[in-house]
């Protein structure tokens, strides 16, 4: 188990526009580390630089304690799972799995033993003599996984390994990959564009946008304290509602709703800000709540997901979403009262995009381990 | 090919299950036939009819215009198999095939592997390697005729500069077949190169990336990834080269006219001489039938034994 460290890593493909800019991160031994970001933000590029499949045009890459910038891919002692699995169509499942062991001239008996061990772990024992084209998508995925772990490399890289699977299988494989990683203790660097995968699988995640690191941290810290509006809207589903707002007379003014009283001094001498609120932090305003905190809005869409309801409504020029638990029998066109409290909002600086204030109510939804 | 537009009545599937309407039920079949008709017509006129006619003529002696005059049964076949000249022609053909197909395909494979490397300016070499595809057999044969010229030809001049003995490229019976083979290999390289390069570029780049990560070297990747993945392409190009080699004519006609001492009298050239120089259309047809059977057998053998080694995706 090795650490992987990136120091000011940059990348430009034959030309000035940098597709990856100044990435600094240390991935700890045995950690499940996730690179997440919208498509085209440079995730694959970073992963391929770590693998040695792309050259690093600036900065340093360390694997273990060794500078790895100029090492050949084979010298980096890692394994990789590709998005399209990259299985050899002319080889059987068994030969695909032991391909790397065969290259390294591992003796035949040991090859067989390790192959069977890994196949048993992934439920592939019955398919060892099939060709990949006779497998389902999920089974192919497992073969790719088996091939990556049979080498027992200390570092494993995965580039969107689940994106070709259907939703149910994806959820299943998420848990399985996570378990295997824990069991083997390998350092995992996992690329995905799916914030849900990032949230559920990662020990830590790194959010990227346009080749720049937006935030690195524990999934829940990122969820509760997003560093900027991009992270706030990228992580979480439905995304956080973010709008421009102004501060005046110790109140926040947002187009379309009543002013919100400021309760502390965090917003002192700010004038123009961005306000964000997570859909689940918008609350229904019951009749007892005083009128100046009740906002009546028009519903434009309702999705009831069994035990929770996502309501889209018009607010000012835009459209917001609220997510409430329970089945709310709301109709499109209904006008419903909402409350947006000061404790529930995040505030970002308008110029620097930095987080000024995160919501307090999120604490209400946290159940510490002791409670259980 | 343009099929005539078929007037379509929109009928629901239920309406089609009318047992009495044979005319209706056979509609799909009739439409298919209509679309196939142009190719049937062309094949009949240019392939099936001449084939039948050749088989028919091979049982006859003909007059000098090629009209059958006397039915002789299998005598034409007996005649050609006893003929020394035909036996030599068969042997020359097999030698020629055994030289041109393996060397031609290997050369094309080698060039394609080179041209598939990701290097600056490789496009230039790809163009060059494929460029002789655009040249006619006649033009390239004439070029080679000059190169092989005993006194002013480039090859002998080259040998002379190193004080090596001169070679009678086209006049020495043991060299002539090699010279014709070299010309043929050169002429076929462009096409084979292009097909193999296409096959190489179809191989998923990720397969090599994975192999690189696993530590496989160039030769290992060539043997374990490239060649197996290329096998359908190789199978195709070997089949086509074999058939082409059996049917070689143009370069023989221009370079050697079958000589010297019939050493390059390849079978198609032999057929041509029999028919259009000796006006023996009967024996010529018999030779054609034998050639047809040879190609058929070789192709069947190739499909039977070669295809097992082919990995289709
Ligand atoms: N081989 C390449 N040559 C030039 N530009 C590339 C190459 N590969 C990727 N890019 C560019 O780099 C950027 C990041 O790509 P990538 O890392 O594949 O994104 P992601 O995996 O996050 O979707 C994209 O803008 C893409 O167009
Ligand atoms: Mg990608």
What is the arithmetic mean of pLDDT over B239-245? 89
Percent of chain A at pLDDT > 70 equals 98
* Average pLDDT value over all residues in chain A: 90
Question: Which pLDDT band holds residue B9 (cuts at 50, 70, 90)?
Answer: very low
Distance (angstroms) between ligand 2 centre and the Cα of A40 equals 7
pLDDT of residue B74: 83
Please report the pLDDT score of residue B10 as a whole number. 46
Does A161 share its domain with A245? no
**Banded model confidence at residue B3, pLDDT cuts 50, 70, 90:** very low
Question: What SS3 state is found at B64?
Answer: coil
Residues of chain B with CATH 1.10.3720.10: 83-309
Looking at the complex, does the CB of residue A189 fall below 8 Å from at least one CB of chain B? no
In a domain, A369, yes or no: no
Query: Quick one: pLDDT band at residue B43, thresholds 50, 70, 90?
Result: very high
Is residue B112 very low, low, confident or very high in pLDDT (cuts 50, 70, 90)? very high
Cβ-based neighbours of B290, under 8 Å, separated by 6 or more: B77, B80, B267
Residue where one domain finishes, among candidates A207, A224, A241:
A224
- Whose C-alpha lies nearest to ligand 1, atom 8? A45
Range of lowest pLDDT (A20-24, B238-242, B276-280): B276-280
The DSSP code for A15 is S
What does the pLDDT read at residue A363? 55
Q: Which domain holds residue A360?
A: 229-364
Separation of alpha carbons B213 and B23, rounded Å? 64
Contact B209 A53 (CB under 8 A): yes
Task: Give the domain CATH number at A310.
Answer: 2.40.50.140
pLDDT digits (tens, 9 = 90+) for B129-173: 888 888 888 898 999 988 888 878 888 888 888 877 877 888 888
B218 Cα to chain A: minimum distance (Å)? 12
Alpha-carbon torsion, ordered B289, B290, B295, B298, to 10 deg: 140
The 10s digit of each residue's pLDDT in A138-167 is 899 999 999 999 988 999 999 999 988 888
Q: Rounded to an integer, what distance in angstroms lies between the CA atom of residue A50 and that of residue A60?
A: 10
From the list B206, B224, B225, which residue is nearest A82 (CB)?
A: B206
Which one of the ligands is nearest to A208 CA?
Answer: 1
Determine the residue of A17, A34, A44, A51 to mutate for testing ligand 1's pocket, defined as the one with the most ligand atoms within 8 A of the Cβ atom: A44
A113 within some domain: yes
Chain B residues closer than 8 Å to A51 by CB = 209, 213
Q: What's the pLDDT at A358?
A: 87
Sheet of A20-27, strand order? A20-27, A4-11, A58-63, A66-67
Please identify, by atom number, the ligand 1 atom nearest to the C-alpha of residue A48: 17
Q: Do B204 and A151 touch (CB under 8 A)?
A: no
- Integer Rg of chain B from CA: 26
In this predicted model, what pLDDT tens digit does every residue of A35-89 receive, in sequence order?
999 999 999 999 999 999 999 998 999 998 889 898 999 999 999 999 889 999 9
**One domain, residues A167 and A285:** no
CA–CA distances in Å: residue A234 to residues A199, A231, A239, B54, B265: 11, 5, 6, 76, 77
Tally of structural domains, chain A: 2
Q: Are residue A140 and residue A283 in the same domain, yes or no?
A: no
Residue of A nearest to B313 (CA): A89
Question: Looking at the CA of A15, which ligand is closest?
Answer: 1
Q: Does a structural domain hold residue A275?
A: yes
CATH code (residue A96): 3.40.50.300
**Nearest CA to CA, how far is B124 from chain A (Å)?**
20
Cβ–ligand 1 contact at A17 (below 6 Å) = no
Structure tokens at B186: 């050169």
Residue of A9, A10, A13, A82 to test ligand 1 pocket, by largest number of atoms within 8 Å of CB: A13
What residues of chain B, 58 to 77, have a C-beta less than 8 Å from chain A?
Answer: none
Residues on chain A touching B210 (C-beta within 8 angstroms): 80, 82, 86, 99, 147
**Looking at residue A229, what is its pLDDT?**
93
Q: Return the pLDDT at B258.
A: 79
Rg over CA atoms, chain A: 24
Residues A195 and A58 in one domain: yes
HSE at residue B284, side-chain half, CA atoms within 13 A, is 20
Give residue B6's pLDDT. 47
Cβ contact, residue pair B204, A53, below 8 Å:
no
Residue B212 contacts A where some CB pair is shorter than 8 Å = yes
Contacts of B211 in chain A (CB under 8 A): 99, 103
| pLDDT for the residue A361 | 61
Closest CA to A342 of A221, A254, A255, A269: A254
In this structure, the residue with its CA closest to atom 2 of ligand 1 is: A13
- The tens digit of pLDDT for each residue in A93-142 reads 999 999 999 998 889 999 999 999 899 888 888 999 999 999 988 899 99
Answer yes or no: do A219 and A252 share one domain: no
Q: Which residue has the CA at smallest separation from atom 25 of ligand 1?
A: A40
CB contact under 8 A, A86 and B220: no
Please give the pLDDT value at position B64: 78
CATH of B83-309, one of 1.10.3720.10, 2.102.10.10, 2.160.20.10, 3.20.20.70: 1.10.3720.10
Q: Does the C-beta of A40 come closer than 6 Å to ligand 1?
A: yes
Evaluate whether residue A17 is within a structural domain. yes
The pTM is what? 0.82
pLDDT above 60: residue B1: no
Mutation site for B-interface testing, chosen from A53, A106, A130 by largest number of B Cβ within 10 Å? A53
Q: Do A86 and B214 touch (CB under 8 A)?
A: no
Q: Say whether both A194 and A233 belong to one domain.
A: no
Mean pLDDT of A235-256: 90
CA nearest to A85 within chain B: B206
Interchain contact, A86 vs B229, CB within 8 Å = no
User: How far away is chain B from the Cα of A127, in angstroms, using its nearest Cα?
Assistant: 18
Q: What angle do CA B264, B270, B273 make, to 5 degrees?
A: 120
Predicted confidence at residue A365, as pLDDT, reads 65
Contact flag B206-A84 (C-beta cutoff 8 Å):
yes
Q: Which ligand is nearest to the CA of A46?
A: 1
Which of ligand 1's atoms lies nearest the C-alpha of A191?
21
Same domain, A218 and A235: no
- The answer to whether the Cβ–Cβ distance between A73 and B311 falls below 8 Å is no
The alpha carbon of A186 and the centre of ligand 1 are apart by a number of angstroms equal to: 27
Q: Six-digit token pair at A288?
A: 């007892």
Q: Given CB atoms, is B202 within the 8 Å cutoff of chain A?
A: no
Beta bridge partners of A58: A10
ipTM, 2 decimals?
0.86
Centre of ligand 2 from the C-alpha of residue A197, in Å: 15
pLDDT digits (tens, 9 = 90+) for B76-105: 888 888 888 888 898 999 999 999 999 999
Q: Looking at residue A155, what is its pLDDT?
A: 93
In a domain? residue A372: no
| Whether A155 and A291 share a structural domain | no
State the Cα–Cα distance between residues B190 and B252, nearest whole angstrom: 19
What are A227's two structure tokens? 């560093």
Chain-wide mean pLDDT for chain B? 85
| CB–CB contact B213 A84 (8 Å) | no
**A99 closest CB neighbour out of B204, B214, B231:** B214
Question: Is-cis flag, bond preceding A238, omega within 30?
Answer: yes
- A22 burial class (0-12, 13-18, 19+ CB within 10 angstroms)? middle
Please check whether residues A204 and A233 belong to one and the same domain: no
> Which pLDDT does position B18 carry in this prediction?
54
A197 and A237 share a domain?
Answer: no
- At B17 the pLDDT is 52
- Does the structure show a pLDDT above 90 at B72? no
Nearest to B313 among A53, A89, A104 (CB): A89
* Of A195, A154, A217, nearest in space to A25 by CA: A217
If asked whether residues A353 and A297 sit together in one domain, one would say: yes
Checking DSSP bridges between strand A187-192 and strand A155-159, what pairing results, if any?
parallel
Among A335-349, B261-275, B299-313, the least confident range: B299-313
Report the pLDDT value the prediction gives residue A362, as an integer from 0 to 100: 55
B210 Cβ under 8 Å from any chain A Cβ: yes
């Amino acid at each position: 188990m090795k650490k992987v460290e990136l120091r000011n890593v940059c990348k430009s493909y034959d030309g000035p526009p940098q597709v990856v800019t100044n990435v600094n991160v240390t991935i700890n031994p045995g950690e499940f580390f996730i690179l997440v970001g919208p498509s085209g933000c440079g995730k694959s590029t970073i992963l391929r630089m770590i693998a040695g499949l792309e050259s690093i045009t600036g900065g340093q890459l360390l694997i273990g304690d060794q500078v790895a910038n100029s090492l050949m891919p084979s010298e980096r002692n890692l394994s990789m799972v590709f998005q399209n699995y990259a299985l050899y169509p002319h080889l059987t499942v068994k030969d695909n799995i032991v391909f790397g062991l065969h290259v390294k001239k591992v003796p035949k008996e040991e090859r067989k033993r390790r192959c069977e061990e890994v196949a048993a772990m992934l439920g592939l024992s019955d398919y060892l003599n099939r060709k990949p084209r006779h497998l389902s998508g999920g089974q192919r995925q497992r073969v790719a996984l088996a091939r990556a772990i049979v080498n027992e490399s200390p570092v494993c890289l995965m580039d969107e390994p689940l994106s070709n699977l259907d939703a149910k299988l994806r959820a299943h494989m998420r848990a399985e990959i996570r378990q295997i990683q824990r069991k083997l203790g390998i350092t995992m660097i996992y690329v995905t564009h799916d914030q849900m995968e990032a949230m559920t699988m990662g020990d830590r995640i790194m959010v990227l946008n346009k080749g720049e690191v937006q935030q690195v941290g524990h999934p829940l810290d990122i969820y509760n304290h997003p560093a900027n509006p991009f992270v706030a809207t990228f992580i979480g589903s439905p995304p956080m509602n973010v709008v421009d707002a102004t501060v005046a007379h110790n109140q926040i003014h947002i187009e379309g709703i009543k002013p919100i009283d400021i309760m502390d001094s965090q917003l002192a001498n700010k004038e123009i800000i961005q306000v964000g609120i997570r859909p689940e932090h918008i609350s229904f305003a019951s009749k007892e709540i005083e009128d100046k905190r009740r906002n009546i809005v028009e519903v434009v869409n309702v999705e009831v997901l069994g035990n929770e309801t996502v309501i889209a409504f018009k607010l000012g020029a835009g459209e917001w979403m609220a997510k409430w638990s329970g089945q709310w029998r709301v109709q499109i066109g209904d006008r419903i009262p909402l409350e947006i409290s000061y404790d529930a909002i995040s505030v970002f600086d308008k110029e620097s995009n930095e987080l000024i204030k995160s919501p307090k109510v999120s604490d209400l939804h946290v159940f510490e381990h002791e409670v259980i | 090919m343009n099929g005539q537009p078929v007037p379509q009545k929109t009928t629901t599937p239920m309406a089609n299950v009318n047992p009495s309407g044979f005319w209706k039920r056979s509609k799909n079949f009739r439409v298919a036939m209509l679309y196939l008709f142009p190719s049937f017509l062309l094949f009949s006129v240019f392939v099936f009819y001449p084939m039948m006619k050749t088989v028919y003529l091979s049982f006859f002696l003909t007059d000098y215009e090629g009209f059958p005059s006397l039915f002789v049964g299998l005598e034409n076949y007996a005649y050609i198999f006893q003929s020394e000249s035909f036996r030599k022609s068969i042997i020359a053909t097999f030698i020629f095939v055994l030289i041109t197909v393996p060397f031609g395909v290997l050369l094309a494979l080698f060039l394609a592997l080179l041209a598939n490397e990701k290097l600056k300016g490789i496009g230039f070499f790809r163009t060059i390697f494929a460029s002789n595809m655009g040249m006619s057999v006649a033009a390239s044969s004439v070029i080679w005729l000059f190169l092989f010229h005993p006194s002013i030809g480039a090859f002998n001049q080259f040998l002379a500069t190193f004080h090596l003995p001169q070679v009678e490229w086209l006049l020495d019976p043991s060299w002539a077949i090699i010279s014709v083979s070299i010309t043929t290999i050169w002429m076929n390289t462009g096409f084979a190169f292009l097909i193999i390069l296409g096959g190489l570029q179809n191989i998923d780049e990720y397969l090599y990336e994975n192999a690189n990560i696993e530590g496989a070297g160039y030769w290992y990747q060539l043997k374990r990834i490239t060649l197996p993945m290329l096998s359908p392409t190789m199978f195709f190009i070997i089949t086509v080269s074999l058939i082409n080699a059996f049917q070689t004519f143009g370069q023989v006609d221009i370079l050697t006219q079958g000589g010297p001492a019939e050493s390059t009298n390849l079978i198609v050239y032999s057929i041509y001489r029999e028919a259009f120089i000796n006006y023996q259309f009967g024996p010529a047809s018999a030779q054609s039938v034998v050639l047809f059977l040879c190609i058929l057998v070789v192709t069947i053998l190739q499909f039977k034994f070669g295809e097992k080694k082919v990995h289709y995706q």
